[in-house]
Amino acid sequence: MTDETGATPALPAWPVFIGVTVDTTDPERLAGFWSALLEVPVEHRSDIEIHLARQPNRGVAVAFQRVAEPTAGKNRLHLDLLVKDLPAARRRAIELGANEVEEHKRDGFHWLVAADPDGNRFCLIEPPPTTDD
């Protein structure tokens, strides 16, 4: 990791969150889905894992690691994705291979729980509209 000048910043004494790695039996398929959904290219590829590029000026790194067997049951960690237009984001995710799980509204937020092609759940979240006073 480098800063704008190309220098590697010193690490602080506490942990720094840099990314999420998703276990999958098919890294190519899952990386293809998430690369298209997040609109980022593959940054690194090996026989056992694929890393996506970070979104410009935001986000964390996402990687997909080959495992021998699929994870049984519901995943205990999921990704939250902020979207400007939930209906448009929903259509795009479904076209790319996601499945709808359930929809919620609370405190002005409106979100869709969806599942990627491996069944990993994620949320597309539309924040409350902003008001100009």
The pLDDT, as a whole number, for residue 1 is 58
What does the domain layout of the chain look like in residue ranges? 9-69, 77-133
Q: Return the CATH architecture of domain 77-133.
A: Roll (3.10)
Record the pTM.
0.80
Phi, psi of 35 (to 5 degrees): -60, -45
Asked if the model's pLDDT at residue 5 lies above 90, the reply is: no
Instruction: Kindly report, residue by residue over 44-91, the tens digit of the pLDDT.
Output: 999 999 999 998 887 788 999 999 988 888 777 889 999 999 999 999
**Contact call for residues 78 and 34 (beta carbons, < 8 A):** no
Tens of pLDDT along 92-120? 999 999 999 999 999 999 999 999 999 99
9-69 CATH: 3.10.180.10
pLDDT at residue 133 is higher than 60: no
In whole angstroms, what is the distance from residue 19 CA to residue 123 CA?
Answer: 17
* Residue 82 host element (H or E): strand 79-82
